[in-house]
Amino acid sequence: MPLALKQPALALLVLALPLAACLYDEDDNAYGQMKLAVTDAPVDGATSVVVQFTGVEFKPRDGMSTVIEFDQPRSIDLLALQGGGSELLLDGATLPAGQYNWLRLIVNAEPVLMDSYIAFSDGAMYSLFIPSGDETGLKLVRGFTVPAGGVADFTLDFDLRKSVHDPASEPGNASGDYILRPVLRIVDNTQVGRISGTVAGSLITAGCDPVVYVFAGAEVTPDDVDALETDVDPVTAAPVEQDMDSVEYRYTAAFLPPGDYTVSFTCDAGQDDPDAEDTLSFSGTQTVAVTGGDTTEANF
């Protein structure tokens, strides 16, 4: 079954350190409180994308890593968290203050076992396998800081369109499992904004898979998601859905750092194979500016 993901980038993990009195241990080392939530990962044709989390590992710049294990595995259907919803993985966990080199989400995603899985609208279900998952899990290698008595508030975005691969695209994959090779980015939640708007009903034609693609930068020529390093890929994308009350077709692209973005509408998202170069038809391309804490309107 070919895999096409409607929204290139929204499986979002939210890291938040709330404002609190600074904590110290007996050696006068400072600590902070950690919250971690997960949100949003729509997939074309899928009814569930379930990942089973068992803990989180944090590696400080100096010293050994800290592993926080859950009492019980947490199976989260990322597909159920569309539209900016989230589900907490950690709430108030204590971490030493300071600079960190990376974090890793520890997951159960072994071949055949169906601990993590993807399900489709035709009733088919497939195990979701992360190669070397026991050793690497879902790892983001990028520095961040946990301030003593302050707030670290990040969103970790793992891009399912680039991360999930059809079994046929993986040579030697005899099990038939879907492969998850995570592509991650991190943004500062204290600065991010969103783009939201409507799409004219006349653009939603028969057989349309309506999605708004979002590209970093002004006046970018829209392109598909593919494996070519020379091509521009969307930062994220937002499915277009009909509001049953207003009957309008609406979309929202959230967790965007401040800056200029190019947005463009397409009905061809279902044809976008991340492992191939596809020709998509875009319309209404425009440049918008995002500012932290605000929603910028862009209509098609």
Instruction: Give the domain CATH number at 278.
Output: 2.60.40
Number of domains into which the chain is organized: 2
Is residue 251 a contact partner of residue 269, using CB atoms and an 8 Å limit?
no
**Domain's final residue, options 188, 203, 235:** 188
**Domain's final residue, options 172, 188, 204:** 188
Place of tokens 């009195």: 21
For 92-106, b/e burial (b = at least 16 CB within 10 A) is: ebebbbbebebbbbb
- Count of other CB atoms within 10 angstroms of residue 36: 22
Q: Is 171 exposed, middle or buried (0-12, 13-18, 19+ CB in 10 A)?
A: exposed
Asked if 113 and 149 sit in the same domain, the reply is yes
Host domain of residue 265:
193-297
Asked if 163 and 278 sit in the same domain, the reply is no
5 part of a folded domain: no
Asked if 66 and 210 sit in the same domain, the reply is no
Q: How many residues does the chain have?
A: 300
Asked if 74 and 144 sit in the same domain, the reply is yes
Q: Are strands 30-39 and 11-16 parallel, antiparallel or unpaired?
A: antiparallel
Is residue 177 a contact partner of residue 189, using CB atoms and an 8 Å limit?
no
Task: Please tell me what DSSP assigns to residue 135.
Answer: H
Task: Please tell me what DSSP assigns to residue 153.
Answer: E
Position 1 scores a pLDDT of 39
**Domain's final residue, options 188, 213, 247:** 188
Position 208 scores a pLDDT of 93
In sequence order, the 6+-apart residues with CB closer than 8 A to the CB of 142 are 102, 186
Asked if 112 and 15 sit in the same domain, the reply is yes
Ordered per-residue pLDDT tens for the chain, 300 residues: 334 443 333 444 555 544 444 555 555 567 766 666 665 545 566 788 888 889 889 999 988 998 989 999 999 887 777 666 667 777 777 788 889 998 888 888 877 788 888 888 888 888 888 776 555 667 778 888 888 877 677 777 766 666 767 765 555 555 677 877 767 777 777 888 999 999 999 999 998 999 999 999 999 999 988 767 667 888 888 889 888 888 899 999 888 999 999 999 999 988 887 777 889 999 999 999 999 999 999 999
Position 282 scores a pLDDT of 96
